[in-house]
Amino acid sequence: MKKTKKKPEQRKKIVAVKLEKIVGKSGKDGRIYLPGKWIGKRVKVTLL
């Protein structure tokens, strides 16, 4: 019987950033501008 190699676990690094923004008007929708470094990143938004 062959032994199978286990794949190393991938750990996700969670970074918390406190950022307060006011939603601006954009046509019929709202828009929040974020830093350019965040392009392509996954972001969660919480309405307070």
Percent of the chain with pLDDT over 90: 25
- The residues pairing with 29 across neighbouring beta strands, listed in sequence order, are 26
Average pLDDT across the chain, whole number = 84
Q: What is the pLDDT of residue 15?
A: 77
Q: How confident is the model at residue 5 (pLDDT cuts 50, 70, 90)?
A: confident
Cα–Cα dist 40/29, whole Å: 21
Q: Which residue type, as a one-letter code, is found at position 25? A: K
Q: How confident is the model at residue 31 (pLDDT cuts 50, 70, 90)?
A: very high
What the block records as the tokens of 6 is 């286990």
Q: What is the pLDDT of residue 36?
A: 92
Helix/strand/coil for 29? strand
Q: What is the pLDDT of residue 24?
A: 93
